[in-house]
Structure 1
Amino acid sequence: MSTLDTSALVIGVDFGTDSCRSLIVDTITGEQVASAVEFYPRWKAGMYCDPDRNVFRQHPQDYIDAFTLAVRNALAGVSDEVRANVRAMSIDTTGSTSVAVDRAGTPLALTEPFRDNPNAMFVLWKDHTAVREADEINTLARNWGGVDFTRYVGGVYSAEWFWANMLHVLRVDPAVRASVYSWVEHCDWMPALLTGTTAPDVMKRSRCAAGHKAMWHESFDGLPGEAFLVRLDPLLAGMRERLYRDTYTADTAAGTLTPQWADTLGLTTDVVVGVGAFDAHMGAVGAGIRPYSLVKVMGTSTCDILMAPAAEVDGRIVKGICGQVEGSVISGMTGMEAGQSAFGDVYAWFRQLLAWPLALLGDTPDAQSQRDGILHRILPELERQAALESPVDTGMVAIDWLNGRRTPFADQTLRGALFGLTLGSDAPKIYRALIEATAFGARAIVERFREEGIRIDEVIAVGGVAKKSPLNMQIVANVFGLDIRVAKSDQAVALGAAMFAAVAAGLHDSVESAQRHMGSGFETTYTPDPEATAIYDRLYRQYREYGALIERLSAAEAHPAPHSTELCTPN
């Protein structure tokens, strides 16, 4: 039975790619009392990033500033009585988003010598500078003669993840290498910062982050062994012992607010702070995940979360996904993660491509106002026009790997493509082909689970794309041949964090209880059109064939046959 308090409120904090959101929730009724959002100022200005080189770094001060304003602004809209009833707070972040820290657990970018050094900042999940390091991890794991430490992360380690990013930074930056003590995920650092437990030997590390991105597993006695790491690169010698052995599920308390943070936020030192986790995993809980639900968090990229009773998955390894971890979503369940490296980013890229001539308007305030107005109209108008097209009439099939491929079988070297262009291929037709491509990429994930014997009973969608693009959601339903339910809350991820806060503070005795009392339900169901599904079955086969062609060409490019002018098709 839950321990319910009629005055108990909690705060869920969601660190997304572009901004930080805070949400105050009633733990009994689920009423969303107040919310606020703050964008990262340095990130918004494009600082410390180079998209041409796949460099995406975020300054830790951005996280502190946006978090402080988001929480304070949400609290500013409530009475003192409501504020006094806030009992707990939990945090989710993107991931893997990790950083080099000193002995005190302070990110190096918050220390004077490194304030403007991107290598001392958080390496965002979408940063792909560590492709070489990921490839070396995969090669060694399969060939070194010991345990394959990629076994529980789908058998393929990604350039987006913890060890690859750490090794890349250590290799390219001697100054960071000389000063780093340990390495920390964003979802671990924020709760530690709020509770005064940033020292690496006392910081509570997330089971979710460790299992999905750092190859942590109980059967390995924690992280990959020292012998493996040193063989990968001697620069990693000793790092394992400065990291962690134990991990914690997100229903656990990390501590309580320090006096300084309580004063900064206008809360009390009794406020419990939960152990962090990744946004998709907490968002799946906020969306109402149940066993064998597939929850799609659809934003700039997608993260797809599937959950099944641990006893039913025991001994079954799902290849090609982003990990299977007991307790990464809900304790007692095996959480399985997949996703696409670009989803909303694909449409944003196309919008920017179309908007290039707007730069010719000049730099005056009036020109900027004109540009902003047109930019905001491009995607809605493309959606309206694309909805008038049929999948047959476009004659095009696109490949959605504009930021590489995350699942199935991560490969950040792959690139997108567009097949079937003619002189009649206009912007709405191309836009529709891009939507269909992202839907085909999503279907490949569904099929990967099914091929490994993991059933999917329902599909739930959350995130900006799910709420804003009916055309997109209908196409996904048609491509899947399944109903897609869209969660009602427009902040399902922050709502999931709030649910975990309630459990960490003992206000609910289980995540399932928090879901029953605090869940928002669903607002829309998209039902597939059987005729469209039949068409998309054919187009999906073309998508897979074209994708296989790109993979062969990429492999031939990476390993050209000597003295040959013909395309070499690898076995």
Structure 2
Amino acid sequence: MPISDEIPVALGLDFGTESVRAVLIDGRGQELGVASERYRHGQIVDHLPGNDQPLPARYALQAPGDWIDSAADATRAALKQSGITADRIVGVGVDFTSCTMLPTLVDGTPLCNLDRFASTPLAWPKLWKHHGAIDQTERMNQVARQRDEAFLKRYGGIIGLEWFFPKMLETIELAPEVADAAEVWLEAGDWFVWQLVGGDAKSLPRSTCQAGYKALWSANEGYASEDYLRAVDQKLGDAAVNKMPGRMLSPGERAGNLCESMAQRLGLPSGIAVSAATIDAHSGVPGVGEAEAGTLVMVMGTSSCHMLNAKQFQSVPGIAGVVEGGILPGLYGYETGQAAVGDAFAWLLKLLNLDSFGPLAEQAMKIPAGSDGVLCLDWMNGCRTPLMDGSVKGAFTGLSLETTPAHLYRSLLEASAFGVRWIVDVLREGGIPVERFVATGGLPHHNPAVVQIYADVLASEIEVHPSEQGPAVGAAVLGMFAAGSDASGFETIGEAARAMASVAETDRLIVKPNLDDRETYDHVYRQYRELADQTVALKTADGPS
């Protein structure tokens, strides 16, 4: 389709674990430019920049300057690739890993940027996969259960290790000097949008999506009560009341206009609309053109998040969160996930001292379903859904002298698929319909074996969305909607999503299951669940890790 100067364009910025992706897409769904830039410091897991002191176990941090530098480079590269003029861009949308959070001064300066805190790990942004708050999470859960806090019903009865308040409490207890100096606590996605639009802390835009799924917030009740937070720790309650300013905005709602300084950094015109942030995985739902209930959208990358819209609310044990309008307006958004998917595959590759999965994947797919008795539990970074326990560990069983690297890989692929099947069982048993599956993100394109195994284990077709940038496209959809109907032509987010991201029936890539393996996988899935039960029982018997 020829590019028309009359068709508006939106920029989507997708902040992942290792890099940021920028996509420019017009109102008819034509991707005009796509670019990705890695963060200079990546995941900070060994030691802080310029510091040789090893970080504690389970720490995962990032450098906030990387987010701006990489976003600027990616945006300029996408704009150059597109060949369009920047004045066609009407809106900017942002999605971000969550919960990635940080403490700042009241003007937004990250505390890690101050000389006195440059060598203090907990002054740096805590990446979503930072698992240092195990003790704090357990205490928050104990107090919530003792008090029978109503918010637990929205989160399957469990506060997650990766969430906002456990990470805040970790800093209060382990780095009190940082907590005392903090004037604002916020999600990284909100921080970046704040940088885009400027303004003071009282007006900083906070995402209802990030707060709803990761910070115990709801539209009806706000954040968890002061009484509860102070029952956990007096300083936690004080910080929640005094150090979390801002206004709550839904994804797609206009957070403000692009300020002059950031417009210059990004190479964009100032004054264009900026949407409130959304969680990266949630952005994948509009990013694949899905606006209806019943479709499980699997955003597959370093970890995987699975989003499902439903017409009704049900409290389902083990579900990471249910937020009304949390993904799309008018529907209840259910979030589930797996804490290690691409990360687990990369770990195995490193363990086997291999450079790529190419030959290994070919060998693995020749092994029969069930991996010749090798069984894996894919909890290499804990279990998100349904246990919400970051301290459990993974396992391989059924090893012998005949076991090959290909067996290990296939069993890990199968374990990841069993994890999804367990999630689907939890949803359906809780009365939430799951009718179809859509996969997006880079992993389904770079590793088709993953999707085939998933389809076989689920005994269901899986649609692979053609764009590798589902979340980035979703962010662009939100940026387009934030621009308003006069600029974009769209009255609803659903309209924008269908126009910009849906795929024609004839162009859909459908991975069909091999139903000959259904009986085998039913049997091995039961073994997987039994191994999970045994692992949890052993952990409980051994006491806290």
TM-score range, shorter chain: over 0.9
Of residues 517, 529, 537, the one that matches 2:514 is 529
Which blocks of at least 5 consecutive residues in structure 1 are unaligned?
Answer: 356-373, 561-571
- What count of residue pairs does the alignment treat as equivalent? 528
The answer to which of 379-388 and 256-265 deviates more is: 256-265
Contact 2:203 2:246 in 1 (8 A): no
Alpha-carbon offset, residue 46 of structure 1: 5.8
CA distance in 1, matches of 2:382, 2:284: 24
What CA distance in whole angstroms lies between the structure 2 residues aligned with 1:218 and 1:5? 40
Under a length normalisation based on structure 2, what TM-score does the superposition of the two structures give?
A: 0.93
Rounded to whole Å, the distance in 1 between the matches of 2:64 and 2:387 is: 31
The counterpart of 1:74, out of the listed 68, 73, 78, is: 78
Superposed counterparts of 1:22-171, under 5 Å: 22-27=22-27, 29-43=28-42, 48=47, 53-79=57-83, 82-144=85-147, 147-171=149-173
Q: What's the counterpart of residue 500 of structure 2? A: 518
- State the Cα distance separating 1:51 from its structure 2 match: 8.3
How far apart are residue 15 of structure 1 and its match? 0.2
CA contact (8 A) 2:23 2:476 kept: yes
Matches within 5 A, 1:155-554: 155-197=157-199, 199-220=200-221, 222-242=222-242, 243-244=244-245, 247-289=248-290, 290-309=292-311, 312-313=312-313, 316-355=314-353, 375=355, 378-392=356-370, 394-506=372-484, 507=488, 508-521=490-503, 523-554=508-539
CA contact (8 A) 2:24 2:82 kept: no
**TM-superposed deviation, 1:74:** 1.4
Distance, in Å, in 2 between the alignment partners of 1:518 and 1:87 is 14
Q: Which moved more, 1:235-244 or 1:393-402?
A: 235-244
Shift of 1:501: 0.7
Q: 1:88 to 1:422 in 2, by over 3 A?
A: same
Q: Deviations over 1:484-505 (max 9, x none)?
A: 1000111111000000111111
For 2:146 and 2:204, locate their aligned partners in 1 and report how far apart those are by CA, in whole Å. Answer: 34
Task: Check the 8 A contact 2:75/2:267 in 1, yes or no.
Answer: no
384-393 or 204-213, which moves further after superposition?
384-393
Larger mean CA deviation between 107-116 and 117-126 belongs to 107-116
Deviations 1:268-303 (A, max 9, x none): 222111000101111121012221110001111100
Task: Show CA shifts across 1:490-535 (max 9, x none).
Answer: 1111000000111111112111111221115264211112221211
Shift, 1:246, TM fit = 5.2
Deviates more, 1:295-304 or 1:105-114: 105-114
CA distance in 1, matches of 2:206, 2:343: 30
1:214 maps to a residue whose letter is A
Superposition deviation, residue 5 in structure 1: 8.6
| Identity %, equivalent residues | 34
Take 1:185 and 1:293, find their aligned partners in 2: how far apart are those partners? 28
In the alignment, is the contact (CA less than 8 A) between 1:30 and 1:518 conserved in 2? yes
Measured after TM superposition, the shift of residue 553 of structure 1 is 0.1
CA contact (8 A) 2:45 2:60 kept: no
Superposed CA RMSD in Å reads 1.9
* 3-state SS of paired residue (1:10): strand
CA distance in 2 between counterparts of 1:426 and 1:78 reads 46
**Alignment-mate amino acid for residue 100 of structure 1:** P
Q: What is the alpha-carbon distance in structure 2 between the residues aligned to residue 52 and residue 150 of structure 1?
A: 30
**Retained in 1: the 8 A contact 2:196–2:274?**
yes
Task: Using the TM superposition, give the Cα deviation of residue 218 of structure 1 relative to its aligned residue in structure 2, in angstroms.
Answer: 3.1
SS in 2 for 1:238: helix
* Aligned equivalents of 1:461, 1:272: Cα separation in 2: 29
Mapped partners of 2:461, 2:114: distance in 1: 51
Q: Is the 8 A contact 2:204 2:247 kept in 1?
A: no
| 1:519 counterpart letter in structure 2 | A
Distance 1:44 1:126, change over 3 A: closer
Q: For 1:353-375, what per-residue CA distance to the aligned partner results, in whole angstroms no more than 9, with x for missing partners? A: 111xxxxxxxxxxxxxxxxxx61
**8 Å CA contact retained: 2:263, 2:270:** yes
> Equivalent residue of 1:99, what SS?
strand
Alignment-mate amino acid for residue 518 of structure 1 = M
Q: C-alpha displacement at 1:337, in angstroms?
A: 0.3
Cα 1:44–1:303 change in 2 (3 A) is: closer
Give the 3-state SS of the residue equivalent to 2:533 in structure 1.
Answer: helix
Alpha carbons of structure 1 residues 203 and 44: separation in structure 2 relative to 1, 3 Å:
closer
- 1:244, CA displacement in angstroms? 4.9
**Cα distance in 2, alignment partners of residues 211 and 177 from structure 1:** 23
Paired letter, 1:241 = V
State the Cα distance separating 1:328 from its structure 2 match: 1.4
Amino acid at match of 1:169: T
Unaligned 5+ runs, structure 2: 49-53
Q: What per-residue deviation string (whole Å, max 9, x for no partner) do you get for residues 179-219 of structure 1?
A: 0122100111111111003x432111111111101010234
Counterpart contact for 2:43–2:62, Cα < 8 Å? no
Secondary structure in 2 aligned to 1:34? Answer: strand
Q: Which residue of structure 2 aligns with residue 567 of structure 1?
A: none
What do the CA deviations read for 1:120-147 (whole angstroms, capped 9, x no partner)? 1111111110011111111110103x53
Q: Which amino acid aligns with 1:499?
A: V
Task: Judge which range, 66-75 or 207-216, deviates more.
Answer: 66-75
Structure 1 stretch displaced more, 287-296 or 543-552: 287-296
**Residue 470 (structure 1) shift:** 2.0
Q: Could you tell me how far apart the structure 2 residues matched to 1:268 and 1:96 are?
A: 30
Cα 1:406/1:548, change in 2 over 3 Å: same
- Secondary structure, counterpart of 2:357 in structure 1: helix
Deviates more, 1:428-437 or 1:464-473: 464-473
> Is this contact kept in 2: 1:153–1:213, CA < 8 A?
no
Of 474-483 and 463-472, deviating more is: 463-472
| CA gap 1:268/1:442 in 2 versus in 1, 3 angstroms | same
Partners of 1:236 and 1:529 in 2: CA distance: 52
| Partner amino acid, structure 2, of 1:186 | A
1:31–1:559 distance in 2 versus 1, CA, 3 Å: closer
- Shift in Å, 1:237: 3.5
Q: Which runs of 4+ in 1 moved over 6 A?
A: 49-52
